[in-house]
Structure 1
């Protein structure tokens, strides 16, 4: 089916900058991409693209390097610039593992709740003009990687570790939300988490996929006080690890449901484990509609990208925008689309295990060997979309490898497009290294 699209107002295009802190290396991605010193240049790129609304992180790990001592000087400089120049930031208080190093057990640390609330309150009192905020970026995905997969600190594993982290973190986030209702009464809480859907290639894989399709809602449902079905497979799995603790957490509130969507948000499971993306991906419009029907909240695509040539990125932007227009045509209240990040990121090829400054080819603007920001067909499509151009008017470039194979399952959803050859000279940074797969594993997939 050809998506309808074009039946509502043009979707707002939103900017975003990657900042995740790597506690083991005492570095963050602002620093490895030099955004910490080139932020004026980067914001000017956004402005010239016609974009004023952006996800922007506040770096708690740098603001409170000594416990109880806040240094807001660098944050003041950037946020005051945003405010004075007409930008509309969605402030991100904690992006993945971006907590101070003195929280030695990270999200498992008994001090986390009190420390986080102290920091969140100090921020709100200092910047009362903020209109949108994300209290904790990707609670499900972050705590899953920290607590279930042992990929990020504190390196816990299995459902026990995952539930323990949810119980340690979510009450503080809910309390911060209640505080912000008082301190920032006109501002909106944008909850941001992964937009998932999973499939199975055999009976055991489908059983796991069914459980994972329930599990994707676990953090948000717990935060909203909705609990989970104790008689489901997920409920039975949670019982021996104290999952009932999630049924009595203090409830929080959200105003906008932010959905982070990548091809690897759709896994396929079988007897030998899981792989991403699934060979039979559900159209993004259908996924958005699932979340809309479940929660009835205004939605926003708060992250998307694809690792590849700049022309591959432009094509993925066309796909995501087209699917969002389709969801909008079905009646979903959809506020905008954020390509994340604006400039290439670094070190996500190892999921931040290593800190090598390895440039990940995902940005609107690509980084060369000297970290200079470069334009491309992607930045052209991005600016066109920001100017109100519909997805049907954006170019579809023939996909290069490994993206063509990576997105093979999506080809049927793109079959109505008129494809064109990408410009040979417009590829982006370090192209041979796009063959590097993200080192992601999913345990207990059986």
Structure 2
């Protein structure tokens, strides 16, 4: 029996795994594993997750390091990490694509051969580690991918506008579908897929004439890649005309419906301080890090909304695949307690919620590090169960804080109830 089928609420953690290795003037490549010293401390890091009672760990693969040149594969470090997963008994939920592509892939997601390359990478991973890794997220947060790479021009290939966003959505969805089919061919019935999307919400003056069309498109776009991969985009889909106008062909839309894939678990990422964006009448907000819209803390109300919406839209069990607040220990514990209580309430009301993920296990560094020359210490985000502490030699120690104790209490309480 798969863990998502046993009726329990399972507790998970994640290690921040954003990889954007490309750089241009004024930018630095970003690799969160390097920034957080995970490449060196992977063995003890997995042990930390076990220590606080996690059953599952969302963990990503640095594709650009695994495949440094076309046709060249270096699995040596990943081999060691997967061996450590076997030792600990943690179940990996493998993030195959958490933003970055290899450096040699010209045009990144806009490269016409991107789906071929990402599919080969996924198939090779599944074939090599299928004895320990059976749960996969083909693309983490495809709406963020599409916005940052295709609409805001923030990440490679730096496309902008609705046309760029539509192009990226189609490319990402094509690779997503091909990846899931390839893994299923390798692993057969053992393969399970945790699709993960960002739970973005829009509030405020959303009906103002200057915002109405933008809000409608953004709300539909939040579901677009998942709608594509699950075969839900036909001529009546609100974004079908836009896709066709921006280069997606009718044959491609037919292909998605004919090759549709489904989530075994529909994951939703929700951050109470950042997942709800506010539109203000008479004010232009472009969106994205360069021109952000203001946020509104909608707390557990927003959490209920996104989990219920995704469960109903895709007809699959749902999992909170990322959540936390950046703040003091007390603020983090308060959100942990409130959000866990909300998941228990939703389950008691009949919503099929199967998992809770605190993200991240230890602190991380803000993506704005990519656009400055400041040391990483100036970009530290206090989010984790463990603090990152400079060791004086360029490395980072992990210091347990009381959020870890609170997480362990919830995780072990859920396990005890099941037992």
Same fold (TM over 0.5): yes
1:337 and 1:123, CA in 2 relative to 1: closer, same or farther beyond 3 A? same
Are 1:62 and 2:60 counterparts?
A: no
Kept in 1: contact 2:204–2:279 (CA 8 A) = yes
Residue of structure 2 in register with 1:367 after alignment? 388
Kept in 2: contact 1:132–1:190 (CA 8 A) = yes
Residue of structure 1 in register with 2:198 after alignment? 194
Residue of structure 2 in register with 1:128 after alignment? 130
Summarize deviations over 1:244-278 as a string: whole Å, max 9, x none: 65633422232110101113221121331343423
Q: How does 1:198-237 map to 2 (within 5 A)?
A: 198-201=202-205, 203-204=208-209, 205-227=211-233, 230=236, 232=238, 234=239
Number of matched pairs:
380
- Work out the CA distance in 1 between the residues paired with 2:369 and 2:167: 22
Uncovered stretches (5+) of structure 1, i.e. residues with no partner: 1-7, 391-446
Are 1:241 and 2:246 counterparts?
A: yes
Q: How does 1:229-308 map to 2 (within 5 A)?
A: 230=236, 232=238, 234=239, 238=243, 240-242=245-247, 247-250=253-256, 251-263=260-272, 264-270=274-280, 271-274=282-285, 275-278=293-296, 282-308=301-327
Deviation at 1:296, TM superposition (A): 1.1
Deviates more, 1:321-330 or 1:55-64: 321-330
Deviates more, 1:196-205 or 1:184-193: 196-205
Summarize deviations over 1:71-106 as a string: whole Å, max 9, x none: 111100110110232111011111112x21111311
Are 1:96 and 2:118 counterparts?
A: no
Summarize deviations over 1:203-258 as a string: whole Å, max 9, x none: 234554343222211110011110167474x5565564346656334222321101
Kept in 2: contact 1:134–1:189 (CA 8 A) = yes
**Which SS does the other structure have where 2:390 is aligned?**
coil
- Work out the CA distance in 2 between the residues paired with 1:87 and 1:210: 41
Uncovered stretches (5+) of structure 2, i.e. residues with no partner: 1-5, 286-292
Kept in 2: contact 1:258–1:300 (CA 8 A) = yes
Deviates more, 1:267-276 or 1:107-116: 267-276
Residue of structure 1 in register with 2:160 after alignment? 157
Residue of structure 2 in register with 1:108 after alignment? 110
1:337 and 1:273, CA in 2 relative to 1: closer, same or farther beyond 3 A? farther
**Which SS does the other structure have where 2:74 is aligned?**
coil
Residue of structure 2 in register with 1:387 after alignment? 412
1:272 and 1:342, CA in 2 relative to 1: closer, same or farther beyond 3 A? same
1:318 and 1:209, CA in 2 relative to 1: closer, same or farther beyond 3 A? farther
Summarize deviations over 1:168-208 as a string: whole Å, max 9, x none: 23222212211222211212011111012222325234554
- Work out the CA distance in 1 between the residues paired with 2:297 and 2:125: 44
Deviates more, 1:221-230 or 1:245-254: 245-254
Residue of structure 2 in register with 1:16 after alignment? 14
